[in-house]
Copies of this chain bind each other. A is one copy, B any other.
Amino acid sequence: MDDPRWLNETEMAAWRGFVAATNLVARRLERQLKEDAGLSHTQYEILVQLSAAPGGSLRMTDLADRLITSKSGLTYQVTQLEKAGLVARRSCPSDVRGVFAEITDHGWEVLRAAAPGHVAAVREALIDVLTPAQLAALAESLGTVSDRLRAADS
């Protein structure tokens, strides 16, 4: 690792901005969701993913891929949501090992109630702060970054 290519000014600004924005936005949304809906961001994301999936259910592994947590972390959070009655576990017919997480009616209610406030917070923290052109550029850049990293992980 001799003679590393250090970051130039723009690169450093991009990196610092990324780290700062990342943490600040995460903190902000975490608090907002906890206060207004009693959910962590992870839990909210689980409900969102399930609600968007056909039948309102997904295999644990699929869910873990869409969120970005470890398998054990997902097990924990799904258990929490199950205790709260927002999600139910069902076994998979074709694969005995498999487990489906399914959003319940109550889960739908909670999600519907939480969504408007969450979207408003996302707008306030990120979306409405940028111009449409900036948003388009951000979407493309971060899309590229995500795709690469996902590919590299597999």
Point out which of A4, A115, A135, A141 has the most chain B C-beta atoms below 10 A from its C-beta. A141
User: Are A17 and B130 touching (Cβ within 8 A)?
Assistant: no
User: Are B10 and A68 touching (Cβ within 8 A)?
Assistant: no
Chain A window 19-61, contacts with chain B (Cβ cutoff 8 Å), 1 for yes, 0 for no:
1111111111000000000000000010000000000000000
User: Are A18 and B25 touching (Cβ within 8 A)?
Assistant: yes
Number of interface residues of A (CB under 8 A): 55
Q: How many angstroms between the C-alpha atoms of A67 and B150 in the bound complex?
A: 27
Question: Chain B: which residue is nearest A69 at the CB level?
Answer: B23
Task: Report which of B5, B19, B26, B122 forms a contact with A15, defined as CB distance below 8 A.
Answer: B122
User: Are A10 and B120 touching (Cβ within 8 A)?
Assistant: no
Chain A window 143-154, contacts with chain B (Cβ cutoff 8 Å), 1 for yes, 0 for no:
111101110010
What is A's interface to B at a CB cutoff of 8 Å?
1, 4-7, 10-11, 13-15, 17-28, 45, 67-68, 115-117, 119-120, 122-123, 125-127, 129-130, 132, 134-146, 148-150, 153
